[in-house]
Amino acid sequence: MATEQKLKTNGFSKFLVVVIISCLLAGGLLGSALSTIFLAQHISDLQNQVSALRSQLATSQSSTINGDITFVIGENASLSHLYHAVKDSIVVIRGLLLQYDIFRRAYYSQVQGSGFIYNYSGQNIVITNYHVVQDAVNITITFINGNSYGATVIGADPYADLAVLRTSAPESECKPLEIISSASLNVGDPVIAVGSPYGLAGSMTAGIVSALGRTITEEMSGGYPIANVIQMTAPINPGNSGGPLLNYQGQVVGITTAILSDSEGLGFAIPSSTVLRELDSLVKNGYYNNHPWIGASGTDMTYEIAKAMGVNITYGWLIAQVTADGPAARAGLRGGSRIASIAGESVTVGGDIIIAINGTRIRGIDDLSTFLEEYTLPGETIAVTVIRDNNTLTLELKLAARPQVM
């Protein structure tokens, strides 16, 4: 009996082991199947996400320029594709300038710069800097393929260093660029300059916007400031003047115009917002005369000037002189009363300090010029807040148009 019970017990134990092993195998197979289903679904989801990201990236990275797709955003930016898309739109501009030697004998010298094609109301024009074509004759434009055509100036504005040319180039040669407002630019945005430095056609450089709202003064502007200029690090040289400053979509955001002597990579460009504002008048009238003018000269305030004047304001624009019967004089603004030696320079002090226009803070000539150019027109009345004898005054000033220098 004892032996029979033992056999029964052993048989049951074997049966139990078989059941347990079978359950484990079944559980393993079920778990594997579930894992496989889960992984397959997860892989499918990931593939869908990758496809969506690729689609978004393609949309954000590409733009159509002259019919080409250009990938231009991100670390894998293809500047070569962008260059290929815009190079046929940019021209070398040459002309002859009549000059005289010390014996008053006439001779001609060659002037050279850059420009680009733009479609204005169905007609192809060339946009460039005024100083490129100033007083020039026998003007020609040359495309990257070497084809050259005659051109004539139809509009110019020395106050913005802009000029518009009409060309005899056939429509098949002209591939216009798109101009967008530079108001969308921010410091740090990447930009590209394409032009012909020293006559080297089709040269391209890249950099970033290093500052906005700068003011520069050029000889042909009659000493008046050119306002709201873009400062950039894209290297430019003589001959780049008039060429386009482009964003990474190949759209024009400025026109390269000047470099700071002895600087390293410090260049300036006329903003495209100025171009768009003036283009109608330049093409239709041949000029632009809506630059607001207050009729005063001055200098930016500094800590040293404030200390010499005994005032607590270290920012603003100090008026040195007002033009007789000009807008500032009629508004009651006052110029300086004495000359002081400050930090090794002679400064006219004692005048009103402009600290705000229409409630907008004015830190210096950059702010003053930019505000007037971007937000006002001749004939409008503005509220000018000044510091006079340590008192704050607000005076009304009716703007006039700048006297013409052409």
Instruction: Give the length of the chain.
Output: 406
Q: Are 136 and 97 in contact (CB under 8 A)?
A: yes
Indicate which residue of 114, 131, 367, 369 is catalytic.
Answer: 131
Q: Mention every residue, 6+ apart, whose C-beta is less than 8 A from residue 394.
A: 383, 384, 385, 386
Residue 121 appears among annotated catalytic residues: no
Indicate which residue of 196, 221, 241, 297 is catalytic.
Answer: 241
Q: Are 70 and 82 in contact (CB under 8 A)?
A: yes
Q: What is the DSSP letter of 321?
A: E
Residue 161 appears among annotated catalytic residues: yes
Indicate which residue of 63, 89, 114, 161 is catalytic.
Answer: 161
Residue 280 appears among annotated catalytic residues: no
Sign for the pseudo-dihedral over CA of 215, 217, 223, 224 = negative
CA dihedral 185, 218, 152, 86 (to 10 degrees): -30
Q: Mention every residue, 6+ apart, whose C-beta is less than 8 A from residue 3.
A: none
Start-end of H helices in 202-355: 272-285, 303-309, 327-331
CA dihedral 377, 378, 380, 383 (to 10 degrees): 90
Residues serving a catalytic function are 131, 161, 241
